[in-house]
Chain A
Amino acid sequence: MIKKIPSDMDVAWCPGCGDFPILETFDRAVAAAGIDRRNLVLCSGIGQASKLPHYTQANVFNGLHGRPIPAATAVKVVNHSLEVVVTAGDGDTYGEGGNHFIHAIRRNVGIKVFVHNNQVYALTKGQASPTSDLGYVTKIQTHGVAAVPFNPIAVAIALDCTFVARSFAGDKEHLLATMLEALKHKDGFALLDILQPCVTFNKVNTYKWYRDRVRKVDSSHDPYDRMKALALALKWGDEIPIGVIYRSKRPTFESQLPALSKGPLVSQYA
């Protein structure tokens, strides 16, 4: 039985944080997917989301801010029998690590990237993030954010990411189903952007704000239709689509590396 949070752990999240339902749902998803935790590696960066690996049971590579994706890429290449999941925030993934995000999608390496997107830098106490909306006021962006928000879903589709989804921490059943889809994805890189309210620093994008706006992707949506997926990806504001938005089939990075044809690299060491 997996402990929800080890009792001796000093959890660094605020009461009510969107990270709690993500952690709880993640543990359910791992169990439901039948993943052996000894073969599960969680890679994270720095920030509140990146502390998640400490509050569950798995192998952990908690590296540098912005850099979990390169580390996870190499872990997967060296031992592709491992299940490798990145759990990091919007700052880690879309800001500091934006270049890695782009190129890991291009490679189509078989890692799952779960982004806790709260549209704010919480650990550094409330500055704008790459996904903060235009006009969002902070102690640094005193006249409001002037740069358009990064759209991870649209960027991922543009790069032909093989699995692109969005979910919401306030809808645990939807989140569970979407996480399961991501964990079951065998065609390479999976992006799951999770709308995650920050109860302390983001007084705009609250549970209610998201709840009023999220719209489940209609079951008639064909995720392999790239242009329709892109149209969904460009929706933001009054309506925010959640669910599996885009899928594509192309060879994974691992399948194209001749050195891996004889099995995982790590087991080839003489």
Chain B
Amino acid sequence: MDVNVRVAGEAGQGVQTTGELLVNAFAGMGLHVFSTQVYMSRVRGGLNSFDVRAADRELFSARRSADLVVALNGEARDALKADVAPGGVLLFDGKADPPVVGINFTETARQVSQSGLMANTVAAGAVFSVLGYDVETLCDYLAVEFKKKGPEVVEKNVNCARRGAELAREVAAPSVKAPVGGRPVGKVYSGSEAFALGAATAGLKFVAAYPMTPSTPTFTYLAALADEYGIVVEQAEDEISAVNMICGATYAGVPALATTSGGGFALMVEGLSLAGMLELPIVIMLAQRPAPATGLPTRTGQEDLKFAINAGHGDFARAVYAPGTIEEAYALMRRSFETAHKYQTPAIIMSDQFLADVRKNVMPLDAASRPIDRCILENPPADYMRYAVTESGVSPRAIPGGPAFVIVDSDEHMEDGHITEDLEARVRLQDKRLRKLAGMAAEAMPPAVYGPPDAAHLLVCWGSTYMPCREAVDILAARGDSVAMVHFPQVFPLNVKAAYAALSGPGAARRRVTCIEGNATAQFAMLLRQYGVVGDCEHLLKYNGLAFTGEEIVGRILR
């Protein structure tokens, strides 16, 4: 069983603080937690919500209805009334008429702690009471969480939590059935934290970005990790500068990353092409948002697939990864650096607001993984040529400051890196660069199949849609449907052979195939069709700025 708690209010009211408090406290109780956020592009006001779903089994998706809504203002109360599940409860910060339960969190916090700031702790106490959880478990968590801030802060928080629970009992708030915790499961991470940790452990030494939602949390976590891992974090004057900086940084010899969203990536495109030409191992994290133009800055979408694959003038090799889970955000960030360095060409890793903000407890990610191999030629000979023609297309890469000159040019160049208009050299060097694609394609990640591979109905997805799609498969399988998911963690180069094996082959004609993605034009289905991997499949699309949920996918499939 699972329970879904939705905290909602305006920006600046502590929606996120309350939500994070519940996530961490529930995780500490041995529950599996899955939390998502929906917010507006503003610093104050508006309507933001933070969902905390907890269960006695692993979760992969949010849920439309909430068993317990905590409304921090009147707008949230009115807007979210319809979200309350049958038998659910709506708590409101203030006076209320039944069935809404009124508890004045802010006023209570003022009475107990002489400040309204701890209203979120009062609310959390009330939530614990309604769910039938022992508020002392919350208090234990608060004691650990606020230990650094001193005993006075701990005591005030504990008193606020206890008072919140008392008030819920005093006003006789109905109770909500909630799952029972077990042994604590792993550690809570957000997708953004996993991306950052993946990059830091990979050996990142230089990250440049111009802040842009939803990539900014990863940039911020990297700044928090910078001292420990020895990373230079530079807020560039614009995205053009950021991408050219990471080109310079990789040329000089260290792994480097730029984080951005669609509009910023658009500005980086010339630099992406530069990295292709100079054969530099840059990594760009592209956290998509619904577009075109500025679009919906704080909402989610998967609209930049074609853009990521095709960005840049001219032909050059690249790898594009699309992690589906928190664990994959970490692992594929590392893999992006590995591929970029092995093949000396850009790698792009795709995210979106849903994946960036999702919080969940997973097996601890290794914070001490070994840095990746930069594949640097340590002692180049005196007649070293940066772009020596090789069979694999990969030329030994030296860095400046050693015994040989390292010469790179955005113009077409000779093997030694110097500018040329020798058209035979042009073909020779372009062929050399593009030969890397063969090696990259041979190493491309196969799609992951979840469920019976010979299922009658295949749900195909890429990137963060893994999560709701996986829940949909579980719901459908529990009904007795023959269904499986085929998820692509790498969208370029495509592992065509494995994709074909998963989606085509014997019996394919009798199968139902549905491509599920967060855009309006079925970009991934088009890509699969381009490679002849799928034929005339069904499309299940969403582009209203919100993530799919498992139950929503099921509902739309069965409709």
Contacts and interface: CB of A to CB of B under 8 A. Distances in A.
A99 B226 contact: no
Given A39-B401, A74-B248, A62 B253 contact: no
A216 to B, nearest CB: 35
A102 B231 CA distance: 24
Contact of A60 (B232, B238, B402, B405): B405
A221 interface: no
Contact of B203 (A46, A74, A81, A269): A269
A82 B253 CA distance: 12
B248 A62 contact: no
Interface in A45-63: 46, 51, 53-54, 57-63
A57 B408 CA distance: 13
B401 A64 contact: no
Interface in B225-244: 226-227, 230-232, 234, 236-238, 240-242, 244
Nearest to A59: B400
Given A70-B248, A269-B205, A54 B237 contact: no
A54 B409 contact: yes
B35 to A, nearest CB: 33
B203 A61 contact: no
Contacts of B205: 78, 259, 265-266, 268-269
Interface string B202-223: 0101101000000000000000
B403 interface: yes
A251 to B, nearest CB: 16
B409 to A, nearest CB: 4
Contacts of A266: 205, 252-254, 399, 401
A54 B241 contact: no
Contacts of B403: 38
B244 A64 contact: yes
Contacts of B232: 77-78, 257, 259-260, 265
Nearest to B247: A71
Contact of A269 (B245, B246, B254, B401): B254
A262 interface: yes
Contact of A62 (B206, B227, B238, B410): B410
B274 interface: yes
A39 B252 CA distance: 11
B418 interface: yes
A42 to B, nearest CB: 9
A63 B282 CA distance: 14
A8 to B, nearest CB: 9
Contacts of B234: 77
A229 interface: no
SS class, residues of chain A in contact with chain B: helix
B245 A73 contact: yes
Interface in B384-433: 399-411, 417-419
A174 interface: no
A61 B253 contact: no
A82 B411 contact: no
Contact of A59 (B247, B274, B371, B407): B407
B407 A60 contact: yes
A72 interface: yes
B230 A265 contact: yes
A172 interface: no
B409 A82 contact: no
B247 A63 contact: yes
Contacts of A112: none
Given A60-B407, A61-B248, A62-B408, A78 B254 contact: yes
Interface in B326-359: none
Interface in B244-268: 244-249, 251-254, 256
Nearest to B402: A38
A184 B244 CA distance: 26
A67 interface: yes
B271 interface: yes
Contacts of A72: 248
Contacts of A57: 405
B105 to A, nearest CB: 41
A74 B274 contact: no
B411 A74 contact: no
Nearest to A258: B227
Contact of B270 (A38, A59, A64, A268): A64
Nearest to A12: B419
Contacts of B407: 53, 59-60, 62
Nearest to A101: B237
B374 interface: yes
A63 B419 CA distance: 11
B271 A64 contact: yes
A126 B135 CA distance: 77
Contacts of A67: 240-241, 244, 271, 274
A41 B252 CA distance: 10
Contacts of A64: 244, 270-271, 274, 410
Contacts of A82: 252, 400-401
A144 to B, nearest CB: 31
Contact of B245 (A54, A70, A257, A270): A70
Given A64-B244, A265-B205, A74 B406 contact: no
A38 B398 CA distance: 12
A262 B418 contact: no
B410 A270 contact: no
Contact of B419 (A51, A75, A81, A270): A51
22 contacts: A54-B409, A59-B400, A60-B418, A62-B411, A63-B278, A63-B410, A64-B270, A64-B271, A64-B410, A67-B240, A67-B241, A75-B252, A75-B400, A79-B401, A82-B400, A100-B240, A103-B236, A103-B237, A103-B241, A265-B205, A265-B230, A266-B399
Q: Which 8 pairs show the lowest CB-CB distances between chains A and B?
A: A74-B248, A71-B248, A59-B400, A78-B252, A70-B244, A103-B237, A74-B249, A62-B409
Given A60-B418, A78-B254, A270-B203, 10 more contacts: A39-B401, A64-B271, A70-B236, A73-B248, A74-B246, A77-B206, A78-B232, A79-B252, A82-B401, A99-B238
